[in-house]
Amino acid sequence: MIIFRIALLAVLLVLPLSAEKYPSQVKKSVTFLFAKDTSGRLTVQGTGFFVLMKADQGPDTATFGYLVTTRTALQRTGGSMLDSVYLRINRKDGSSDTLLVLLRVNGEPRFFPHPDSTVDLVVVPAFPDLNRYDLLYTPASMIVTSEYFARERVTEGTPLFHVGMLEEQLGTFRNIPAVRFGTIVQFSEEKYRWNGMMSEFYVMEPGTSAGSNGAPVFHYVEAAADTSGAPRPARLALCGIIAGPFGNTHSGRSAVRVTPSQKLNELLLSPAVSGERDKEFIRLRTNAGKR
């Protein structure tokens, strides 16, 4: 028996030959996060994006969706985790919806932080309807590991871009994502001391606004020809997640912390998240048996 939860896999993997500085369709991969303050108004929390991954269990295959963001983006001002968050997602009709996502159900958390508490990264099981929303999932196969960084020489001076929120102009009727370009300024072999803990991240500048915490960071290689003249398609890789500001550099420009994409792989394959997938397999089989 094969179980499919969705019939779409990764349109972001297929990139045309073009001279674009970045593939503009990645702007559809992000959502904006809000929480209600004490007066009931929605306040900015950060940015998130959706990852799609396939999993196998015996003869069964299922597709799972996750909202990816930072733990900071899901916290109250005092540091405790929110009970719910609001996602603003663009609709295909040109408007947008603001969806309530529960982070706790009957007191039990529905979010999964990285098992290393120094890594500011969280996933929440989520599967917005692609028939309704103008949204693109980022395939798990696009999440690169340290081997990619070494092979493609992604290090200091490498240009990257991230897609997130520009708080001064969110968009009146629908999200208007901001695309920021920068370079890695430090890729340290040591962990950084941050908020009293030793944390693993790399540093990129220029920085970004607080509303872009949780934004995906991409490495894009434009289409080219190899030594024989044969065309090589453009390539896009998810290289990290914006984790927040990193003070000021000597140049006077603000820098930003970026959690390496490898940490997202670790979280998606962690016992807690894979255990939740196992439960979902059981639920899907049970529902299939009732038909």
How many domains are contained in the chain? 1
CB 145 within 8 A of CB 102: no
Q: Is residue 38 part of a domain?
A: yes
Render 139-175 in DSSP notation, one character per residue: EGGGB--HHHHHHTT-STT-EEEEEE--TT---SSS-
Q: Please give the pLDDT value at position 250.
A: 47
| Selected residue with higher pLDDT from 9 and 148 | 148
**Range with the largest mean pLDDT of 56-70, 165-179, 255-269:** 255-269
Q: Is residue 136 part of a domain?
A: yes
Q: Please give the pLDDT value at position 84.
A: 94
Q: Please give the pLDDT value at position 229.
A: 67
Q: Is residue 70 part of a domain?
A: yes
Q: Please give the pLDDT value at position 33.
A: 96
Q: Please give the pLDDT value at position 3.
A: 36
**Which CATH number do you get for residue 126?**
2.40.10.10
> For residues 220, 222, 226 and 231, what is the CA-based torsion angle, rounded to 10 degrees?
120
Mean of the pLDDT values across residues 11-22?
54
- Reduce the DSSP state of residue 202 to 3 states and report it: strand
Taking 90 as the threshold, does the pLDDT of residue 218 lie above it? Answer: yes
**Range with the largest mean pLDDT of 74-83, 89-98, 166-175, 206-215:** 89-98
Q: Is residue 163 part of a domain?
A: yes
Q: Is residue 7 part of a domain?
A: no
Nearest-Å Rg of the Cα atoms of the chain is 19
Taking 50 as the threshold, does the pLDDT of residue 17 lie above it? Answer: no
Q: Please give the pLDDT value at position 78.
A: 76
Phi, psi of 172 (to 5 degrees): -80, -45
Q: Please give the pLDDT value at position 24.
A: 86
Q: Please give the pLDDT value at position 20.
A: 66
Q: Is residue 195 part of a domain?
A: yes
CB 124 within 8 A of CB 67: yes
| Selected residue with higher pLDDT from 164 and 210 | 164
Q: How confident is the model at residue 31 (pLDDT cuts 50, 70, 90)?
A: very high
Q: Please give the pLDDT value at position 290.
A: 65
Taking 80 as the threshold, does the pLDDT of residue 146 lie above it? Answer: yes
Taking 50 as the threshold, does the pLDDT of residue 4 lie above it? Answer: no
Q: Is residue 9 part of a domain?
A: no
Instruction: Look up the domain containing 123 and give its range.
Output: 19-290
pLDDT tens digit sequence for 56-90: 887 788 889 999 999 999 998 878 899 999 999 99
- 74: Cα separation from own chain's centroid: 14
Cα gap 122→22, rounded to integer Å: 26
Q: State the residue for tokens 């930003």.
A: 256
pLDDT tens digit sequence for 89-127: 999 999 999 999 999 988 889 999 999 999 999 999 998
Q: Is residue 277 part of a domain?
A: yes
Taking 60 as the threshold, does the pLDDT of residue 15 lie above it? Answer: no
CB 89 within 8 A of CB 133: yes
Q: Please give the pLDDT value at position 226.
A: 66
Q: Please give the pLDDT value at position 32.
A: 96
Taking 80 as the threshold, does the pLDDT of residue 16 lie above it? Answer: no
Cα gap 110→79, rounded to integer Å: 18
